[in-house]
Structure 1
Amino acid sequence: MAEHNTLGKVGEIKAKEYLESKGYIIFHTNWRYKHKEIDLVALKNDILVFVEVKTRSFGGMQNARECITKSKMRFLIEAADAYVTMFNRPEEVRFDLLALTKSPSTIEIEHIENAFNALDI
């Protein structure tokens, strides 16, 4: 497995653990709709949260926040809409970003709640 794939898997595991430690209930990991994927689907305080996880090595060229393009937002919104319909979810929806930065000894996690919404695109 390529190093960036391994880093991404480690990041998703750490992100899930982080959210669970904050009281989120994780419904799905890597949920797929057609060719789109939502990294984590969770529930917190009656809000259905769709989470994009971005993991980077310390000193990497691109900030994790910068990876959420308008195209990526559209994909996530479309997949989230399908999820809500498929599972008949009545909750308010929110899109979060977990930006993880791995250094040789630690992983720093930045949780950006409500990172974007449909009006951003």
Structure 2
Amino acid sequence: MLTKYDHVVDKITIGKKGEQLAANFLMKKGFEIVMRNYRFKHAEIDLIIRRDDWLIFVEVKARSSTDFGEPEEFVDARKVNKMYEAAEEYIYATDWQGHIRFDIVSVKLGGEPVIEIFEDAIN
């Protein structure tokens, strides 16, 4: 018998798998993973990556199905504001002086994973 917590556990499992697949995908593309799950107050950034003089804040959205929409469509205004807040703190704390960008990585599970990066998707 399923409990109300089974859905939450499944969602966490999907999220962790999606983040790992996204990190592997980005490393293969030549990005350095600077930090995972950076937290500031109630905000979290899934991945902070770097290449050359670019620091990129990444929101990973993973879904086991697209029945209710594409993964990237689930990044709402509240999440964007929280990302900005955490990114601003990270930039200040590390005295970052290079370029910055906010990307979304979409991970579709359920069979062979399909991973897409949406560069500069949050602005």
TM-score, normalised to structure 1, is 0.91
Shift of 1:45: 2.9
Q: CA offsets per residue over residues 43-71 of structure 1, 9 Å max, x none?
A: 02311000000000123313212211112
Pair 1:31 & 2:38 matched: yes
Correspondence for 2:122: 116
Moved over 6 A (4+): none
Partner Cα separation in structure 1 for residue 52 and residue 106 of structure 2: 22
Higher strand share: 1
Which structure 2 segments of 5+ residues have no match?
1-7
Q: Tell me if the contact between 2:53 and 2:99 (Cα under 8 Å) persists in the aligned partners.
A: yes
* Equivalent residue letter for 1:6: T
Pair 1:4 & 2:1 matched: no
Shift of 1:27: 0.6
Identity of counterpart residues, as a percentage? Answer: 35
Q: How many residues align?
A: 116
Pair 1:72 & 2:48 matched: no
Correspondence for 1:20: 27
SS at match of 2:119: strand
Which structure 1 segments of 5+ residues have no match?
none
* Equivalent residue letter for 1:71: R
TM-score, normalised to structure 2, is 0.89
Shift of 1:30: 0.3
**Larger Rg, first or second structure (1 or 2):** 2
- Over the residues paired in the alignment, what is the CA RMSD in angstroms? 1.2
